[in-house]
Amino acid sequence: MAEFDITSTTRDGMGPHGTQVGLLRVLGPAHVWALGVGIVLVGEYMGWNFAVGKGGAYAALIACWLAGILYSCVAMIDSEVTSTVAAAGGQYTQAKHIVGPLMAFNVGLYLVFAYTMLEAANAITAGYLISEVARLTGYDGTLDQRPFIVLVIVFLAWLNYRGVLATLTFNLVITAVAFVAILVLFVSTTGLLAPSMMQHAALMEGPAALPYGWIGVLAAMHFGLWFYLGIEGTTQAAEEVRSPARALPFGTLAGIMTLLIAATLTWYICVGLIPWEFLGDGVNGSVAPLFDAARLTGMQPLVVLLGVGTLFATLASANGCINDASRAWFAMGRDKYLPGWFGAVHPKYRTPYRSIIFLVPIALAFALKAPLDQVVTFSILSGLLEYTFMPINMILFRRKWPMHTIKRGYEHPFHPIPSLALLALCAVTFFAVFLGYGTQLVAMIVFYIVASLWFHFWRYRFVARAAQFTMPWPKPRGY
């Protein structure tokens, strides 16, 4: 039994509601940027190229920009709501205050699923990359990728366990390196520093331009999301940033701008160097397209740089995913949406340590057993369900608390156009997913329906009613 000094200056978050150990408020806007971009940037290094396979190079570009619009809407909506609802759990906490408990439970599960699956995908890619390095350095056996996959997940879980500041500072450094690597590859292949190596016209000649016609463009939207999936994760840091109302909108909007640049450059470099059939096959063809692009330049320093960039991007992403998934799981445990045991904070490291531990074996199970495109699809599906929730959330937020009834850290312009645009783009993406992965989509939704019934009729009895509404807001309009 430990004694706690309430006046201790080393322990903040000592609130009137009895928090004795809470999460630590230590992060700045740069960490928010690193969390958002760090999770997503791996999408440029692997996975987005499935969109090329789905519809060809131009289809991938259209999907890249449509998804860019979708995510700009996501970032604007998120910035407004989260600068007002600043708590761990992000969209889960937003849903709890704005839509209702069952929606919040579902959103919490979307978050945990999307991030844990993405984490598994990252670990798979890291394992592949290390085996590729072994092959290129002359190892003639087949490298066992499993120990490296396990090491990536366990090492990052350990880092997350030990504290959020070190975790996200690490992310800041490796994300910056991975982003700079894309810029370097761009300037050294496109004629800015050296003669241009781009062969867009020849590689996209004839049927290679739009091999499936316009339906291919629709289908490509499925993996178009992969360019940006996870930027909404910045909100999970809400309880750990020093000034959430300022840092979260800043970090999120700077993040989406970074990604729009990175995504477009990546597309331009890769389709100008790699034939689309090879590029579009992320399993047997180009698993790590930027790395392959660097190999095609024949310049050894670029190969090394992009190899390092790919590895760093996967690590940064898995790292951010562990951070976000554990925050969401923790927040649900704290409210008793999940067993309250998960709502514990480590008294020394100030992290949701039990949630971090619990999600490790789950990530391992998928990283070691499931194929990459399936894992990616599960992640995208959960993300998509979440993006469909966001416009509903935003419209209800503005209706229940109109402008000036509460103080918002950031107000996004043109409401409700971003919400409606987001909803329309989600519908298109549902159709795209249906074209290839309809069964998984239905299985996934059946899962959420069963889980919802379980929550409504069983689990919700353990949740205190009024206590879960923690924001100091007036009563919502219409109640």
Partner 1 sequence: MTYRPPKQSKLSQLFDVIVLLAMTFGALYIPLFLGLAGGSKSVPEGAPTTWEGMGQNAAQVAQYNALGFTDPAAVSNIINARYDYSFSWGALAVMIVVIVAYYALMLRFSEQEYRDVISEKFGDRP
Partner 2 sequence: MSFWNWMEYAAWGLSALLGGYIVIDWIKTDATYDEEVLTSSREGELEAMVEEHHG
Binders in 326-355 for partner 1, by CB under 8 A: 336, 338-341
The site for partner 1, by CB under 8 A, has a size of 85
Smallest separation, CB 411 to partner 2 (Å): 19
Angle among Cα 23, 397, 407 to the nearest 5 degrees reads 65
How many CB atoms are closer than 10 A to CB 352? 28
Smallest separation, CB 473 to partner 1 (Å): 10
Contact 62, 217 (CB under 8 A): yes
Q: State yes or no: residue 99 binds partner 1 (CB under 8 A).
A: yes
99 binds, among partner 1, partner 2, none (CB under 5 to 8 A by kind): partner 1
376's tokens: 């990616």
Residue 403: strand pairing partners: 406
Closest among 7, 31, 24, 16 to 353, alpha carbons compared: 24
Smallest separation, CB 452 to partner 1 (Å): 6
Whichever of 415 and 459 has its CB closer to partner 1, that residue is 459
Whichever of 259 and 302 has its CB closer to partner 1, that residue is 302
Q: What is the Cα–Cα distance from 223 to 70, expressed in whole angstroms?
A: 13
Query: Which alpha helices (DSSP H) does 143-237 contain, by range?
Result: 146-162, 164-189, 200-203, 214-224
Instruction: Tell me which of 60, 335, 382, 412 binds partner 2, using CB under 8 A.
Output: 335
- Residues numbered 383 to 442 that lie near partner 2 (CB under 8 A) are none
Contact 285, 278 (CB under 8 A): yes
Q: State yes or no: residue 446 binds partner 1 (CB under 8 A).
A: yes
Instruction: Tell me which of 110, 148, 227, 455 binds partner 2, using CB under 8 A.
Output: 148
Q: State yes or no: residue 205 binds partner 2 (CB under 8 A).
A: no
Q: State yes or no: residue 147 binds partner 2 (CB under 8 A).
A: yes
Smallest separation, CB 126 to partner 2 (Å): 11
How many CB atoms are closer than 10 A to CB 204? 18
Q: Which residue has the tokens 């019934």?
A: 453
89 binds, among partner 1, partner 2, none (CB under 5 to 8 A by kind): partner 2
- Residues numbered 193 to 232 that lie near partner 1 (CB under 8 A) are 199, 202-203, 205-208, 211-212, 215-216, 219
Q: Following DSSP, what letter does each residue of 333-393 receive, concatenated?
A: HHTTSS-GGGG---TTT-S-HHHHHHHHHHHHHHHHHS-HHHHHHHHHHHHHHHHHHHHHH
Name the residues that contact partner 2, by CB under 8 A: 1-2, 4, 13-23, 86-89, 93, 134, 139, 141, 143-144, 147-148, 150-151, 154-155, 157-158, 161, 239, 331, 334-335, 340-341, 343-348, 353-354, 357, 360, 468, 470-472
